[in-house]
Structure 1
Amino acid sequence: MHQFIMPVITPLYAGLCGLLLLGLSFLVSRQRLRSKVSTGDGGIPALAGAVRAHGNFVEYVPLALVLILLVEMADQAELTVHLMGAALVLGRFLHAYGISTHPGGKSFGRMWGTVLTWLVILLASLKLIVWSIIRMTAA
């Protein structure tokens, strides 16, 4: 029987992501009030950027955090978990800044935020697949 050990690293990054989500939510609400648009983006670039930054965050962060949590629970090195968590938070911040300030075009933040987020998801996924295969073949 396995004993459950509460992860201690992933909650830190989940908390930071929670604060970032609240910040993005605030920016959407502020733009909606300024623009007097209750749904959609009203064709207003600043509102469209805020909505996309928020939406993109919500699309990627939950799975990334679950993957990081599972990596931590699979007894992976603490440094690995910290690097993944930090890369996720940095990536999401860069992406949110980039898409909010350049809603219709390319930006450094948008590109590198996406790259960092995708790398975290890719590396965590591969680590978990390899870990699972090793565990299944050892049993």
Structure 2
Amino acid sequence: MITITMVFTGIFLLMHTALSATTSAHRAKFDVDYGDGGNLAMLKAIRAQGNFIEYVPILLIAMGASEYVGAAPWFLWTCGWVLVIARISHAAYMLGFAGKPARLLGAGLTFLLMTVFGIYLIGRGTGLMA
């Protein structure tokens, strides 16, 4: 059973719910049914949610695959919490709660995790890594 990945999937489902609710609230507030209506706040909410969806699912798949093939729990917990920090940082910038360094931190950590999981899974899949 991939219990660590399950925990983080739950966390990210709650985070996605919050981002979706924010986008929906902006749609109601600005009376925008489709697109961004030319409203910068609406566009930022859409992109915060969209960026989350562009990166989190593939990283959860990578985490689950890593856990399935026996990755160390410390590795999975560390990567999971780093991803939580990354996604909160990025969304905080996009929604206007933090400055540009938060966006750079979020993006940088996300790219780092994609690289780490990619190398780990290639190594395990090819037998180059135990």
State the TM-score bracket (shorter-chain normalisation): over 0.9
Give the counterpart of 1:115 among 108, 111, 117.
Answer: 108
Segments ≥4 residues shifted beyond 4 Å: none
- Ranges in structure 2 where 5+ consecutive residues have no aligned partner: none
Deviation at 1:108, TM superposition (A): 1.4
* Contact 1:99 1:109 (8 Å CA) reproduced: no
In structure 2, the residue matched to 1:39 is: 34
TM-score (norm 2): 0.93
Cα distance in 2 for residues equivalent to 1:24 and 1:109? 17
SS in 2 for 1:41: coil
In structure 1, the residue matched to 2:121 is: 128
2:84 counterpart of 1:89: yes
TM-score (norm 1): 0.88
Deviation at 1:9, TM superposition (A): 0.5
Deviation at 1:36, TM superposition (A): 0.3
**CA offsets 1:91-111 (integer angstroms, 9 cap, x no match):** 111111111118xxx711111
SS in 1 for 2:2: coil
- Ranges in structure 1 where 5+ consecutive residues have no aligned partner: 1-5
Give the counterpart of 2:56 among 45, 57, 61.
Answer: 61
Which segment is superposed worse, 108-117 or 19-28?
108-117
Cα distance in 2 for residues equivalent to 1:14 and 1:116? 18
Output the aligned Cα RMSD. Answer: 1.7
**CA offsets 1:8-46 (integer angstroms, 9 cap, x no match):** 101111110000000000000111111000111111111
Deviation at 1:68, TM superposition (A): 0.7
Instruction: State the aligned residue count.
Output: 129
Find the structure with the greater CA-based Rg.
Answer: 1
- Aligned-residue sequence identity (percent) comes to 33
Deviation at 1:85, TM superposition (A): 0.7
